[in-house]
Structures are given as structure tokens and as C-alpha cells.
Amino acid sequence: MTMSNTNEWKNLYAVILIALITVFLFADQNLMAPNLTQIAHDFGFSDVERDVKLGGHIPLAFWVIGGLVTLFIGYLTDLVSRKKLFVAVIFIGEIPCFLTGFVETYTQLFWLRALTGVAIGGIIPLTYSLIGDYFPARSRAAAVAWLGLALGIGIGGGQMLAGFIGSEYGWRLPFIIVAVPNFVLGLLFLTTIEEPARGRTEESLKKLIEMGDVYTGRINWSEYWNIFKIKTNILVFLQSIPGCIPWGMLFVFLIDFYAQDKGYGVESATLLITIIGAFAILGSFIGALIGGYLYNKKSKYLPMLCGTATLLGVIPMALLINYPGVKGVENPSIIGPLIIGIIAGFIVAITSQNMKTILLNVNAPETRGSIFSLFNLTDALGTGLGPFIVSSLIRVFGRPVAFNIANLTWVICGIILLSIAITFPKDEMELSKLLSQRAEKMVSR
């Protein structure tokens, strides 16, 4: 076996292990959603307190506090050993996840969920910094697609686990089940994975690094602020907040909305949203592969695909929100909302993983951890503020109107995405020039 083949197998093993860890870490994300009403009853909450405290305050803490702390983790990603930091972040997430299975008060639940959010946010910059150094630009879309698939399987699988186990054994048990595997996988990652050299997959640096040269680019405050000079970065940040609001509405409230307000029951509603989530995972995966194909044809086609899909997804999502209820109907069928939801989830999810490919291809190796922590912060603001904003609107207008308002924020997101088609090719070219200049300096040393 040649050295090249050996490295390819090592890369594949590393990515498979990262994907498995991602499945279990993100399985935690939506464990509360199927059992909001059960949790509310456990703590003696009214329906309004259920939506505001469990559906609004906890997601806000989970994403915003976690997102802010991950700015620090993202900065560290570009300075220290990513392997050790990766494992530390896993344990930061899984210990509070495990302890959530034993909470007795709302305050305990609130803070343990916030700590878990730190880890779920912190793993993002680490993962994509590593991916940038495992794969060259032409292959990153496929790698991102597979990791996105793992993330989606984790979220969907955790949600289904909570929906079916929680109704019989209580809402706490799923937190314990999804936490345990990563204690083992984290130790395996620490002892068996080799960290890739920074910049080794960049065309202008690859041969020099293979010959033994070291890419010395490192994050500093000057480099950090240069991130904000890249127009594509700013537009990706701007689309992230409105783009995440409908997803927060979908996965935090819609199970309970279909179970209680529309009369489908908890298990049917959980199955409905889980299948929609499964097709969203499929849409994200296939969308990333299509995005990679289009990128290799012409780079501007990638954001054009994202913007078009996001705008089109508004229509079936509106139909899903406003689908007639079935209260009083015996053995109601979920086929109608399921078909509509599958279409909505598949189309809109095309965008999600392609944003990561775009960021990888316009940012230098030493800033990728920082850029993904910033992206995760804007993502967190959207995901955390989304349920919080929607829960506030519910108090004024009721659930259906609040959900329809949330859905319309995808129009804003789609317009911003289309504008990235103008900036993306130019910013890629600037990065190529920068890395070529650094390669020349490496040769002259």
C-alpha cells in the first residue's frame, strides 16, 4: 500500500469516527421537543409557561450562551491541538446531557441544557477546520454532505427516540441513552486519530508541506478582523439568522402543535415531524452533492442553488402549518401533511450544508475555526431567538399566525443567498492569491 493510499484510509477512518461522534452529540439537540407537554406537567407549568419557558427560554439559553462561548472555542481551534480540544468539547457536552436524566427542578434543566449547547456549538468549528485539512476544495462538498447526514441522523434519531421512549419510560431516559456512547468514542478519537497538518490540502501549499515545510499561518487579532472584510462571510452571517428561525419553529413547536392543537396525538405527530426531518436530512445530503457538482462547473451556481431552494420551500411549509386539524376524527391519517412536509423539508434543507462548503472555500486554513464559530453564533442566534420570538408572538396572535410569520423569514434568507452568487467567485480568487503569496514565502525561507 502506498503512502498516499495509507493517508486516504487514515482520513476516511477519522471522518467516519467524527461522523459517529456527531450522530450521538446532536441526538441531544431535540430530545425535549416530543415531550414538551409531559415536561410541563412534570414541573407544574401551564400551556403558556410550556411554550415560553420550555419552548422559548431554554432554546435561547442553549443556542445563545452556547454560541457565545464557542467564539472562544473557535479561536482556540486555530491555535492549539484540535484533537485534544475536540475531545474536551465532547465531554463538556455529554456530561450535562447525561445529568439531565436526573434533574429534579426547572433551574437544573435550564443550566444543563445551556452547558450542552456550548459543546454542540463548539464542535462545529473544530469539525470543519479538520475537514478543510483532510480534503481539497473539489472534494469538500462531498465530505460536508456526509457529515451533514450524520448530524441530521443524530437530530432525527434522538427526536424519534424521545418520542417513543419518553411516552412510556419518561422524558429523562433518552438523555442518558444518547450520552453514553460518546464517552467511549471520544477516548477512541483521542488515542487513534492523527491530526492533519494545517493547509496540507491547498493546491499552492500541498507539495511544500509534503516535502516537510510547515505552514506557519496562525490566527491573531489582525487575521481575525480580516474575516469581516470578506463579503461572502458577511452575507452568510446575515442569511443565517432569518434562515434558522423557521427551523426552530419546526423542530421545537410543530410536534406539540400537531399533537395537541391539530389532534394527531404525540406518537403520530412525532412520527410525522421525524419523517419530515429524515427527508430534510436527505435533502441536505443530496443538496450538498448537487452543490458540489455545480460548484465544479461554476462556483456561482452553488449559492444560486441555495437561494432558489430556500424561496421555493416557503410554499409547502405554509401549507404544512395551515393544514386542517383532525380533532374528533377517529384514526386520522397523517398522509396529507406528511407529503407536504416531505417536500418542504427536502427543498429547504438543500441550503444548509452548502453554506459550510462556501465558507471553507473563501477562508484561509488558520481562520476556519474562527469563521465557523462566528457562523455557529449567527446560526445559534437564529435557532435560539427563533423559538423565543415565536413564543412571544404566540402570546399575542396564537400559534398558527406566529408560525406563518416565522416561515416568511425564509424569503429574506433566499434573497441574501442569491446575492452571494456575486461575491463568492471573487472571494475565492482572493484566497487563492493569498495562499500563493504565502507559498512563495515558504520557498524563500
The whole-number pLDDT of residue 216 equals: 59
Over residues 77-95, the pLDDT tens digits come to 777 888 899 999 999 889 9
pLDDT of res. 218:
65
Among 147, 373, 382, 342, which Cα is nearest to 252's? 382
The model's confidence at residue 276, banded by pLDDT at 50, 70 and 90, is confident
Q: State pLDDT tens for residues 3-40.
A: 455 667 777 888 889 999 999 998 888 788 788 888 88
The pLDDT > 90 percentage for the chain reads 30
Residues 129-170 pLDDT 10s = 888 888 877 778 888 888 888 888 888 888 888 888 887 888
**Total of domains in the chain:** 1
DSSP state at residue 57: I
CATH of the domain at 51: 1.20.1250.20
CB proximity list for 107: less than 8 A, separation 6 or greater? none
The C-alpha cell that represents 77 in the structure block: 481551534
Q: Which domain holds residue 183?
A: 3-444
- Which cell numbers hold the place of 243? 434562515
Q: 217: pLDDT confidence band, cut at 50, 70 and 90?
A: low
Q: Among residues 368, 344, 342, which one has the least CA distance to residue 356?
A: 368
Does the pLDDT value for residue 417 go beyond 90?
yes
Nearest-10 crossing angle of helices 173-192, 82-100: 160
CB burial of 225-259 (b: ≥16 within 10 Å; e: otherwise) equals: eebeebbbbebbbbbbbbbbbbbbbbbbbbbbbbb
Lowest mean pLDDT among 99-103, 232-236, 353-357, 437-441: 437-441
What does DSSP assign to residue 53?
Answer: I
Alpha-carbon distance of 143 to 370, in angstroms, equals 20
Specify the pLDDT at position 291: 92
329 and 263 Cβ atoms separated by less than 8 Å: yes
